[in-house]
């Protein structure tokens, strides 16, 4: 397991399932302190890379589809999932958490 991941043992199927914790925290900032970051016409692929680094969580997406997507936003104390909700709303995308990673589904912004 890596930071922001948890494991759940399913006794019925004797299976160990890996998932994200309910409220992932940025790795480099002490818990409870806001992580302020601003993006100004930033390619959304760059935004996702910064989020991957900040939270230590893999974010899978089609970089070619998202190549035309840019984001202008100021993030402060929002949770990871609130940030993802806002990014996906701005880029007409959606996300899903699968096996301790985040998958972005998008038709692109071109």
pLDDT by residue (tens digit) across 3-58? 999 999 888 888 888 999 999 988 876 666 666 889 999 999 999 999 999 999 99
For the residues 70-79, what does the mean pLDDT come to? 93
Cα 60 from Cα 96, distance rounded (Å): 10
CB 71 within 8 A of CB 86: no
What is the DSSP pairing of strand 70-75 with strand 37-43?
antiparallel
Secondary structure class of 4 (helix, strand, coil): coil
Q: Which domains does the chain have, with CATH numbers?
A: 34-110 (3.55.50.30)
pTM for the full predicted model: 0.86
Residue 27, pLDDT score? 85
């Amino acid at each position: 397991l890596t930071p922001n991941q948890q494991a759940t043992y399913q006794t019925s199927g004797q299976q160990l399932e890996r998932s994200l914790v309910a409220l992932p925290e940025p790795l480099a900032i002490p818990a409870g302190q806001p992580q302020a970051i601003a993006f100004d016409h930033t390619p959304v692929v760059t935004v996702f890379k910064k989020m991957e680094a900040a939270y230590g969580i893999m974010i899978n997406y089609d970089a070619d589809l998202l190549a035309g997507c840019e984001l202008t936003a100021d993030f402060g104390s929002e949770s990871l999932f609130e940030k993802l909700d806002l990014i996906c709303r701005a880029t007409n995308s959606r996300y899903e958490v699968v096996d301790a990673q985040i998958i972005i589904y998008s038709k692109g912004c071109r």
